[in-house]
């Protein structure tokens, strides 16, 4: 593995959580992350993980009610709690705030109108962060798993906060990259907001048909 490939690229930042600790201490592990996860006042509607899972349902119609910044911070922080390969965090989150760019994302996402949602997070793979000395295809595989899992955590956190979401996998990668201005390949676009109406969960196949026991 040549060292050039392993160099980590720095992408533009600028995310500022609504509430931060009074004093920042680099020696305190995960200080900002823990602060956001544990702090109010965002209303956590459901703290029962299994109830959250049972109730989660994709939403494609969002109400105009804005999502509180403290909730968005928690959703983003939740992504950061997900496990990642080697803890290298081989993914990035692009938090799309610009209404114009959201409209461009609709087009990039096969004209799915609900992509113009109150909160839009694009999860991208960043294999250059994964510092294992493994072939590139393994690093890419890890990065897509990292990005996918993180988005799943954000999706569950959204539900726990009384919000709903739609996972977008149908998009033109290059168009999404052009809109958000990155050379990183997106893995999913997560659109979040208050649902216009609450729906019952969709049916699943019988759990017994899903599981294949291997002795």
Q: Which stretch binds ligand FMN (CB under 6 A): 57-65, 69-77, 87-95, 124-132?
A: 57-65
Q: Which stretch binds ligand FMN (CB under 6 A): 18-26, 41-49, 54-62, 133-141?
A: 54-62
Q: Which residues from 14-43 bind ligand FMN, rule CB under 6 A? A: none
3-state secondary structure the chain: CCHHHHCCCCCCCCCCCCCCCCCCCCCCCCHHHHHHHHCCCCCCCCCCHHHHHHHCCECCCECCCCCCHHHHHHHHHHHHCCCCHHHCCCEEEEEECCHHHHHHHHHHCCCCHHHCCCEEEEEEECHHHCCCCCCHHHHHHHHHHHHHHHHHHHHHHHHHCCCEEEEECCCCHHHHHHHHCCCCCEEEEEEEECECCCCCCCCCCCHHHHCCCCC
Binding test (CB under 6 A) with ligand FMN, winner from 202, 205, 208, 212: 202
The radius of gyration computed from the CA coordinates of the chain, to the nearest angstrom, equals: 18
Question: Buried b / exposed e across 143-155, counting CB within 10 Å, b at 16+?
Answer: bbbbbbbbbbbbb
Q: Which stretch binds ligand FMN (CB under 6 A): 66-74, 123-131, 136-144, 163-171?
A: 163-171
Binding test (CB under 6 A) with ligand FMN, winner from 11, 95, 132, 167: 167
Q: Which stretch binds ligand FMN (CB under 6 A): 18-26, 29-37, 53-61, 175-183?
A: 53-61
Given a contact cutoff of 8 angstroms between Cβ atoms, the answer to whether 148 and 188 are in contact is: yes
Binding test (CB under 6 A) with ligand FMN, winner from 70, 89, 112, 158: 112
Binding test (CB under 6 A) with ligand FMN, winner from 19, 44, 51, 170: 170
Taking the complex as a whole, how short is the minimal distance between the CB of residue 169 and ligand FMN, in angstroms? 3
Taking the complex as a whole, how short is the minimal distance between the CB of residue 210 and ligand FMN, in angstroms? 14
Binding test (CB under 6 A) with ligand FMN, winner from 20, 58, 69, 128: 58
Binding status of residue 169 toward ligand FMN by CB under 6 A: yes
Binding status of residue 95 toward ligand FMN by CB under 6 A: no
Which stretches of the chain bind ligand FMN, using CB under 6 A? 57-58, 60, 112, 166-170, 202
């Amino acid at each position: 593995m040549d060292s050039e490939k392993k160099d980590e690229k720095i992408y533009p930042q600028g995310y500022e959580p609504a509430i931060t600790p009074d004093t920042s201490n680099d020696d305190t592990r995960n200080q900002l992350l823990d602060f956001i996860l544990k702090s109010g006042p965002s209303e956590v509607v459901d703290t029962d993980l299994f109830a959250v899972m049972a109730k989660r349902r994709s939403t494609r119609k969002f109400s105009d009610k804005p999502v509180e910044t403290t909730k968005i911070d928690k959703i983003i922080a939740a992504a950061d709690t997900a496990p990642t390969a080697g803890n290298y965090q081989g993914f990035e989150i692009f938090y799309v705030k610009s209404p114009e760019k959201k409209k461009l994302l609709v087009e990039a996402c096969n004209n799915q109108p609900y992509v113009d949602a109150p909160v839009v997070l694009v999860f991208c793979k960043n294999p250059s962060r994964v510092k294992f000395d493994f072939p590139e295809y393994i690093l890419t595989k890890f990065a897509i798993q990292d990005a996918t899992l993180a988005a799943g955590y954000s999706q569950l956190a959204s539900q726990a906060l009384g919000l709903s979401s739609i996972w977008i996998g149908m998009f033109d990668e290059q168009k999404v990259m052009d809109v958000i201005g990155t050379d990183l390949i997106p893995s999913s676009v997560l659109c979040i907001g208050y649902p216009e109406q609450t729906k019952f969960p969709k049916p699943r196949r019988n759990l017994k048909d899903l599981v294949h026991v291997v002795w």
